[in-house]
């Protein structure tokens, strides 16, 4: 594994994608991290809002055998890492959010396909502090001020990356594990995408990672969108 760390970087994801194949970035497994990401990218091109102390890192990864399950697989493994190493309970919100509670988001995952055998995965995780966005939503964090976070921004990304490399999951494991970690299983939700709004009861994910929503007695498969818990 090759680890490149910057004290400050506009976007680890943009940097890694632009440098792939160049001298120093030809290893099979590369992770880029920064202590201060100044122009982080959220899902659908939104800005990533970071708290006082944050992890910001990107890495190369081969897709899951069911490619559309890759970001869900990564979410599961990140939750397992913090559970095993810090006894911190993180849950998941479809499609790729890391949650402290159903209304408190602490991180997110973005996947970009480089070629059929390689993805660049971007992860942002708030370690400490909160950002109050409105009365219904808080960008929260995993740790409290009592926790020692010395050098976490540099030391944790390669450890999380190695954990992911060592613990890849098959599709059936992903579906079972994700539903156990889901913070809105069997809840009333709304999913908004560019063309439609769907309201209904969330009944898990299918073999492709699509959300299964019960609407008017029928199960609908939703490929993408932003999910809100009613």
Within 10 A of 210 (CB to CB), how many other CB atoms are there?
17
**Which tens digit of pLDDT belongs to each residue from 49-97?**
565 689 999 999 999 999 999 999 999 999 999 999 999 999 999 999 9
> For 134-148, 151-165, 183-197, 216-230, which range has the lowest pLDDT when averaged over its residues?
134-148
CA distance 212 to 218: 10
Strand partners, 61: 119
- 10's tokens: 């506009």
């Amino acid at each position: 594994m090759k680890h490149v760390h910057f004290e400050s970087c506009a976007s680890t994801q943009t940097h890694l994608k632009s440098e792939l194949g160049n001298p120093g970035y030809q290893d099979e497994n590369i992770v880029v991290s920064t202590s201060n990401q100044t122009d982080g990218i959220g899902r659908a091109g939104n800005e990533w809002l970071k708290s006082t102390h944050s992890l910001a890192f990107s890495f190369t990864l081969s897709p899951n055998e069911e490619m559309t399950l890759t970001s869900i697989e990564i979410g599961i493994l990140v939750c397992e890492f913090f559970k095993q190493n810090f006894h911190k309970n993180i849950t998941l919100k479809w499609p790729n959010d890391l949650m402290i509670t159903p209304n408190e988001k602490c991180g997110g995952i973005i996947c970009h396909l480089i070629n059929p055998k390689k993805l660049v995965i971007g992860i942002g995780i708030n370690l400490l502090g909160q950002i109050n966005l409105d009365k219904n939503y808080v960008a929260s964090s995993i740790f409290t001020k009592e926790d020692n976070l010395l050098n976490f921004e540099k030391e944790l990304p390669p450890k999380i990356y190695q954990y992911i490399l060592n613990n890849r999951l098959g599709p059936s494991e992903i579906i079972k594990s994700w539903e156990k970690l889901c913070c809105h299983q069997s809840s009333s939700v709304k999913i908004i995408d560019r063309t439609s709004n769907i309201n209904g009861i969330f009944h898990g994910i299918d073999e492709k990672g699509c959300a299964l929503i019960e609407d008017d007695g029928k199960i609908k498969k939703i490929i993408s969108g932003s999910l809100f818990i009613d």
